[in-house]
Structure 1
């Protein structure tokens, strides 16, 4: 994969055909400051929303007009936590908890390379697109020495699928021999990690408005990373003006591990290393105390809520209502495909509502609050809420048009309830940066059957390599 090849693909992903796009007659949920909802129009020119309001749109000569009657138009979803490479190791250890699941999967992950990561990322990102996602954050932390340029492989895949992409350069430097969880074969030296992480920022990070590609710094977790790396990674990220991400407070095993090793909770440990603030977001965040939740809210520290994965691994249910009430931004994530085989961001919206209510009662989380978590709050976690996450003139044209007039949804009085609580509806149109990526529930940027075949082959090869 040459630099020119990557650049050309990224450029094509950002381009449309030059015509304005007018979406007419849809129910529009804007999530703007007034939280307006109306039957009306949205107009896209280039990569921006230029008009949104009730009733018919003004005439735009030469525009493509999309009939949105019977549809719900929402901002595109923002996935705040995933491990794309795991798409080719789905279905393994399906009944294990986190620590046993990890130790089962590490031997397979030790064999990933550019080819398998590229195919996995294409498959996972395609599924995200088909479930309404326009921006994806990926936490990649496994870098086998013979694997090749894995970050470049997934960046190329994101450009090919056409999603806005925030890869987080992960790392592990605490192996089994040092008291950590991962085997020696998948960890790196701390200095090597810091050099490679800063090189990724130099090479890939685009801080410009409308950027399709931004890098975050993301040591994996307290039980796979030394405190020295956590502290120095935070210093690096703040020096370079990029965001910080890690797993935290996911399981009681992790809490016990931190208590035994550091005599504190995972949250207290992260706080002691400088890991709080509006530039930090944690994945999972299930096992926080009242005091810790208050601290997260006061500092603006975010949480990527992954309800399906948390349930799949039996980790628990995050205190989403309490986190949001405290002022902590909470987005949604599908997590790794090997702990959430569906990889559907729309499914996370539904599960966020159901699990919050199972924990806290029928008023714990409304359907509109869950939609906000999937859009505007997710954008806030990634530092993009001034550009994406709501439908407003001047914001980037990342939009999802859902068809709600088919049998599973026709007659549901509230269209937001139909989207969030009903069966997954057809996705009539997905725009990313003003460019169509999904049309009539089909991906138009890459060939789905081809990717499916390649994913199956990649999994077979990876498992054969692991023995």
Structure 2
């Protein structure tokens, strides 16, 4: 960085860097130069810095890396509160006909609502797994990417697809699916148009057939081949429910993990959502291949899917990130809440030592960066990394008397004060700075009314 680079100084705060050594500072500073972290350490920032355009007094605050969401379905924002007492399969069958009527305007409004809650929940890197592309619905991928760009957050679009409708034994109605050839061509076109593999990238694309019960084996296989030919990552749903296990055995003659392996879907360029029902052998294979997991504890509870074996996955060395999942199975969409839910879910399954507050924070940051293939750029507060930072209020009433600020973040009731993405403010004083939140709410409500009318 040169002396003329604009700098932001954040100091007098507690800092959890989430680096390889879990370095923390009771009172420290971070200097941002341009879009990169220039320095981090104990005490006040170095004297004599040039080009300082903003100083943030972090007294009573905790600074962490920005949170990284690894699984979501933005379009579901406009169908929240429906089918609240269904298991996954019944929930999907109930809502697929509604979702199959989305269009570009609805998708844009839903993405804005989801992204607004992402940012207000501390997310600097958002992700959307979008797989519903009704014919004549417009440029849905482009509308989602445009919403993320306007919000100012970093973004991965997992360009999903479905080609197995009800007539082929799948769950979605036939009018909600694409052809094999159409899905592959549209996915590659999205990579051509939007994927940026650079260190500073704000937009990346992943290949993401939806799930074994909505996608043909050929689409799984050719999707994996496409992703590896183009050098992008692979994402899908996996081992979410007991019913999925039964479905795979009846249709393919094997369980989900064996099926994924047979189609080329285990590897260090793959991450899967949920993975609730993994055997010990499956956990070992995920770890051995570097296959990542997007853990979605709130959604798993909302749908009654079960409790994922997160302690086993972490002990085995598999990458594990956190996700809020679609807004129709997690109505709040607040990523910071998933840290608390992940800790509770792990302890329901394995007792009080099953997950610590710091492990929950690591999953939400470095774990997510590993899943998205961006651990070199994101996920920790280290010199040279992207200046994606979240500053949390931990010293006022909800956290008063809690000595450890990370405990306040995970166990308590943290409030986001500031959010920076690539050194640019997206949340300031707890409010979104890049968009009008009332406009977002109004647009989303109108879209909900439109899809209900259809």
Whether these two folds match at TM > 0.5 is yes
- 1:418 equivalent in structure 2: 408
Residues 65-91 of structure 1 deviation map (CA, whole Å, 9 limit, x = unaligned)? 100010000000000000001111100
- State the shift of 1:212 in Å: 0.3
Match of 1:145 among 135, 138, 156: 135
SS at match of 1:214: strand
Task: Work out the CA distance in 1 between the residues paired with 2:432 and 2:351.
Answer: 38
Residues 327-384 of structure 1 deviation map (CA, whole Å, 9 limit, x = unaligned)? 1100000000000001010011110000100100100011000000000010000010
SS at match of 1:35: coil
What RMSD in Å do the two structures reach over aligned CA positions?
1.0
- State the shift of 1:146 in Å: 1.6
Task: Work out the CA distance in 2 between the residues paired with 1:191 and 1:400.
Answer: 42
- State the shift of 1:19 in Å: 2.9
- 1:84 equivalent in structure 2: 74
- State the shift of 1:158 in Å: 0.1
1:203 aligns with 2:190: no
- State the shift of 1:406 in Å: 1.1
1:43 aligns with 2:31: yes
Match of 1:348 among 335, 338, 351: 338
- 2:440 equivalent in structure 1: 451
Match of 1:58 among 33, 46, 61: 46
- 1:288 equivalent in structure 2: 278
- State the shift of 1:36 in Å: 0.8
SS at match of 2:315: helix
- 1:3 equivalent in structure 2: none
Task: Work out the CA distance in 2 between the residues paired with 1:113 and 1:46.
Answer: 38
- State the shift of 1:33 in Å: 2.0
Deviates more, 1:124-133 or 1:260-269: 260-269
Task: Work out the CA distance in 2 between the residues paired with 1:214 and 1:307.
Answer: 25
Indicate if the aligned counterparts of 1:197 and 1:217 stay in contact, CA closer than 8 A: yes
Task: Work out the CA distance in 1 between the residues paired with 2:386 and 2:44.
Answer: 21
What is the aligned length? 448
- 2:240 equivalent in structure 1: 250
Residues 235-283 of structure 1 deviation map (CA, whole Å, 9 limit, x = unaligned)? 0000000000000100001111111111211111011111011000010
Residues 258-315 of structure 1 deviation map (CA, whole Å, 9 limit, x = unaligned)? 1111121111101111101100001000001101100100010000000000000000
- State the shift of 1:211 in Å: 0.3
Task: Work out the CA distance in 1 between the residues paired with 2:38 and 2:87.
Answer: 48
1:159 aligns with 2:149: yes
- State the shift of 1:426 in Å: 2.1
TM-score, normalization by structure 1? 0.95
- 2:204 equivalent in structure 1: 214
Task: Work out the CA distance in 1 between the residues paired with 2:440 and 2:318.
Answer: 38
- 2:14 equivalent in structure 1: 27
- State the shift of 1:100 in Å: 0.8
- 2:398 equivalent in structure 1: 408
- 1:8 equivalent in structure 2: none
- 2:177 equivalent in structure 1: 187
Residues 188-213 of structure 1 deviation map (CA, whole Å, 9 limit, x = unaligned)? 10001111111111110001111000
Match of 1:119 among 109, 120, 133: 109
Indicate if the aligned counterparts of 2:239 and 2:277 stay in contact, CA closer than 8 A: yes
SS at match of 1:191: helix
TM-score, normalization by structure 2? 0.98
Indicate if the aligned counterparts of 2:39 and 2:382 stay in contact, CA closer than 8 A: yes
Task: Work out the CA distance in 1 between the residues paired with 2:158 and 2:95.
Answer: 21
Task: Work out the CA distance in 2 between the residues paired with 1:185 and 1:383.
Answer: 34
SS at match of 1:395: coil
Task: Work out the CA distance in 2 between the residues paired with 1:28 and 1:413.
Answer: 14
- 1:12 equivalent in structure 2: none
